[in-house]
Amino acid sequence: MRKKRDAWKSRIGIIMAVAGSAVGLGNFLRFPVQAAQNGGGAFMIPYFISLLLLGIPLMWIEWTVGRFGGGFGHGTAPGIFHTMWEKNRFIKYFGVIGIFGPLVIFIYYNYIASWTLAYAFFSATGKYGLVAGQEGMLTLLRGFQGVEKNSFFSSLQYAYLFFLITFVINIFIIYKGISGGIEKLCKIAMPTLFIFGIIIAIRVLTLGTPDPTKPGWNILNGLGFLWNPDFSALKDAKVWLAAAGQIFFTLSVGIGVILTYASYLKKTDDVVLNGLTAASANEFAEIILGSSIIIPAAYVFFGPHQIQNIAAGGAFNLGFVTMPLIFQKIALSAFFGCLWFTLLFLAGITSSVSLAQPSIAFLEDEFNISKKKAVIIFGIVSFILCQPAIFFLKHGVVNELDFWGGTFCLVIFATVETILFGWIFGIEKAWEEIHHGADLKIPHIYKFIIKYITPLFLFCILGFWFYQHGIPTILMKGVSQADKPYVLGIRVLLVAMLITLAIMVKIAWRKRAIIKTKE
């Protein structure tokens, strides 16, 4: 006999949870870098096209597919895919990606989220208050990460301590369940995150001109640097790919998390308006708050010439090097620094618990084991898997995990689920399922978009990637000789994880068949 599945207690709870999964470090760190590096305001053209033709359709697909599969007692992609195409014995194995991807992201994202908790502590205690210049702040970060030993940190003990704290928080929340853990967390964390973001954005947007001899270094020009369009950038396919990638990243589509969250909905629960509301909350965090903090503030204090190098330095440098330097230059620096890194931690923790849930749901639903046992198994396995990202960070391990788990798998999984939804399940049946209990009617044009445009868009992304980067990536072009053994080791680990999950799916279905025969 199968136990009763967990459920969301309120509509706002599921909206906050899905928004929490989507609103992460990428909204505040990755998005402004992507915009600044890819044509400024012109980047928003492919961004919004990708949102309308890729992000929103995939969001509706995943909410609908998850709710549908949940009605059959499945909370993860293997079971959900099987319910949609029962005649195909192999489709459940494609669903393995929907567990594999979130697990891979979890084992490095959790460590990165722990940095934000550490830096919130460093802000409150003034740990980096006397560090001068970008080079000094970068040295502090590299010492903390264990990339190098220096006068700030001689070992990984501080980083590992904050990782342990963050990991335990994740496991505790997951153990408390959907309604008692994740929903409660997100109901508190998301409003808090938005309040903190608005406070920081207002402080940044009211910055004066710190150097009277450089009147051009002002907030309006800082916003202009990010938003003034370079339309020539639209001729570059990489800009379009970057925009599509950001939409995947920011909405958490193609991962498998929304499927699992939606599987805990009732059959009559709305998915159309709920999905749009969660997506809108994410876009507010990204476009309004994410673009109003780092780049404009950096422009005011470092000027138009250095801002180019700052933007090119990447998301981590922006968040952990540039922002602390900026906070040093304003009143109440410890307060605003602590606010900033606490905001990032809340964004990180609401995302990381969502990444763990597909694995937990898979163990609970397909092996019919208790929540406690599922969390213990996940905790032990994921803790072991987290170690390479911590100890081999300087050898490119996190970048490798991020590419295969956080980029490549997303596009593959999204392509599979879109074809399955629009073509195998059938667009007419799919359209009816989307609108079951809906509070809002989707424009009819989206029936055409979901069936034709979204899958075509996804095939183009895959095609361009294989054409431009496929072979060099597979052959590890650009990877140093010293790092190649580590990168190869991670690839072997990832293949082993994928095979193990596939075997677990096979075992689970064999058990189901035996039980069905006995009945």
- φ, ψ of residue 167 to 5 degrees: the values are -65, -45
pLDDT at residue 477, as a whole number: 86
- Those residues whose C-beta lies under 8 Å from the C-beta of residue 325, and which sit 6 or more positions away, are 133, 134, 137, 301
Whether the predicted pLDDT of 519 surpasses 70: no
Fold (CATH) for 11-518: Hydantoin permease (1.10.4160)
Contact 197, 285 (CB under 8 A): yes
Output the pLDDT for position 3: 67
Question: Is 60 exceeded by the pLDDT of residue 1?
Answer: no
Secondary structure E strands in 358-410:
none
Q: pLDDT confidence of 29, banded at 50, 70, 90?
A: confident
What are 392-447's pLDDT values in tens digits? 999 999 989 988 888 888 889 999 999 999 999 999 999 999 999 999 999 999 99
The reported pTM is 0.93
Q: What proportion of the chain, given as a percentage, has pLDDT over 70?
A: 99
Under the banding of pLDDT at 50, 70 and 90, the label for residue 322 is: confident
By mean pLDDT, which of 25-29, 61-65, 177-181 is the weakest? 25-29
How many beta carbons lie within 10 A of that of residue 427, not counting itself? 15
Q: What is the pLDDT of residues 339-393, one digit of tens each?
A: 999 999 999 999 999 999 999 999 999 999 999 999 999 999 999 999 999 999 9
Every domain of the chain and the residues it spans: 11-518
Give the mean model confidence (pLDDT) for residues 46-75.
95
Q: For 203-209, which contacts have Cβ atoms below 8 Å and span 24 or more sequence positions?
A: 203/330, 203/336, 204/292, 204/293, 204/296, 204/297, 205/292, 205/296, 207/297, 207/300, 207/330, 209/300
Structure tokens that stand for 507 in this block: 């075992």
Torsions phi, psi for 92 (to 5 deg)? -65, -25
Q: What is the mean pLDDT of residues 272-277?
A: 95
Instruction: Give the pLDDT confidence score for residue 201 in this predicted structure.
Output: 94
